[in-house]
Amino acid sequence: MGRRAAIGKAAFLRHPGAVNDPDEPATDPQLAAFRRSIDNIDAALIHILAERFRITQAVGRYKAQTHMPPADPERETRQIARLRQLAEDADLDPEFSEKFLRFIIDEVIRHHRQVQGD
């Protein structure tokens, strides 16, 4: 049995009868193309988030040294208003942008509390 036939057989065994089965990316070129773009974007998001947490960890150490509280509700209100506006301009659901920032800030405050030993 040649290599192509072996691959074809393996795919068949994994997904009997599936042509457009999304578990098998190779069977649908359009879906595979979408997913390559999503994977590139996700790598960018992970690296930008890593940089954001590098900065907020520095903020956490600075707040602990200068005895500032970990959370800052006024700052958060300003951030949410700004991101909702940016989201609207970029055609992203503003509700989602707010949920997203809340999700990130909750993680940041958890880090700050760890630094301050609360």
Q: Which is nearer to a second copy, 2 or 37 (CB)?
A: 37
Helix (H) or strand (E) segment spanning residue 16: none
If binding is defined by CB under 8 A, does position 81 make contact with a second copy? no
Q: Which is nearer to a second copy, 7 or 38 (CB)?
A: 38
If binding is defined by CB under 8 A, does position 27 make contact with a second copy? no
What is d(CA 88, CA 6) in angstroms, rounded to the nearest whole number?
Answer: 50
42-61: contacts with a second copy (CB under 8 A): 42-56, 58-59
If binding is defined by CB under 8 A, does position 91 make contact with a second copy? yes
Distance of CA 18 to the CA centre of its chain: 30
Binds a second copy (CB under 8 A): choice among 72, 113, 115, 116:
72
If binding is defined by CB under 8 A, does position 74 make contact with a second copy? yes
Residue with tokens 């190779």: 26
What is d(CA 28, CA 35) in angstroms, rounded to the nearest whole number?
Answer: 11
If binding is defined by CB under 8 A, does position 96 make contact with a second copy? yes
What is d(CA 79, CA 26) in angstroms, rounded to the nearest whole number?
Answer: 42
Task: Please give the span between the terminal C-alpha atoms of the chain, in angstroms, as a whole number.
Answer: 64
If binding is defined by CB under 8 A, does position 5 make contact with a second copy? no
